[in-house]
Amino acid sequence: MIDKAQSRRSFLTMGLGAAATLMVVNPLEAAVRRMPERSLHLYNTHTGESLKTVYWADGRYHTKSITQISRFLRDHRNGAVHPIDPRLLDLVVSVQRKVGAKGAVHIISGYRSPATNAMLASYSDGVASHSLHMEGRAVDIRLPGHSIRHVGRAALSLKAGGVGAYPASDFVHIDTGRIRTW
């Protein structure tokens, strides 16, 4: 037979566990979960290409759309394509919604091949030698009509990965790595 003190302890332990679980869900996950459909309108500043697609609907990611987006976010220097992390797409949509941006998300850089990343790192200290761009987990964006500072703050508030604001170059880096800023 379970005594009342043990029962009360079990109840409190379960309650604290449930509360902790709710606190772990970051704002990005909560916002994305409520969306019945997730779509992106992208514009590549280097190739001049545009893409509009619904990449999540009916409770799942759509493989064909993710493949299209991965091709769109290819390394524009050599054409190399790599699968893009769907969570990165959710992050882009959430940042766009958070700032109230309409229209296309301007892509400065999506996937980078190891060769491209090494070349860029040789020119600049600002390029990580093990960049998440090489894993399809990072993108550099611009949201026309919104300051880099505003976009960077919005991305940071989502607590979903790394954020780097580059006002002089007019873009924000976002990724699905650990939470950090620079």
> 11 lies in a domain?
no
- Coil/strand/helix, residue 140: strand
> 5 lies in a domain?
no
> 12 lies in a domain?
no
Local confidence pLDDT in tens for the 182 residues of the chain = 555 555 555 444 444 444 443 444 566 666 666 778 999 999 999 999 999 999 999 989 999 999 999 999 999 999 999 999 999 999 999 999 999 999 999 999 999 999 999 999 888 877 777 899 999 999 999 999 999 999 999 999 999 999 999 999 999 999 999 999 99
CATH code assigned at 34: 3.30.1380.10
Give the orientation angle of helix 148-157 with respect to helix 86-99, to 10 degrees: 120
User: Which pLDDT score is estimated for 127?
Assistant: 78
Count other Cβ atoms within 10 Å, centred on residue 177: 16
> 129 lies in a domain?
yes
As a whole number of angstroms, the distance between CA 129 and CA 117 comes to 7
The full length of the chain comes to 182
User: Which pLDDT score is estimated for 1?
Assistant: 54
User: Which pLDDT score is estimated for 4?
Assistant: 59
> 153 lies in a domain?
yes
Q: Which alpha helices (H) appear in the chain, and where do they start and end?
A: 4-24, 27-33, 63-72, 86-99, 114-123, 148-157
> 8 lies in a domain?
no
User: Which pLDDT score is estimated for 34?
Assistant: 73
Domain total in the chain: 1
Between the alpha carbon of residue 6 and those of residues 2, 64, 103, 147, 174, the distances in Å are: 6, 53, 57, 56, 47
> 42 lies in a domain?
yes
User: Which pLDDT score is estimated for 7?
Assistant: 54
Token pair belonging to 78:
């050599």
First to last CA, the chain: 57
What does pTM read for this prediction? 0.81
User: Which pLDDT score is estimated for 5?
Assistant: 56
Tokens 């916002």 — which residue?
31
As a whole number of angstroms, the distance between CA 79 and CA 146 comes to 30
As a whole number of angstroms, the distance between CA 44 and CA 104 comes to 9
User: Which pLDDT score is estimated for 128?
Assistant: 79
Q: Tell me 104's DSSP state.
A: P
> 9 lies in a domain?
no
Which range marks the domain in which residue 38 is found? Answer: 25-181
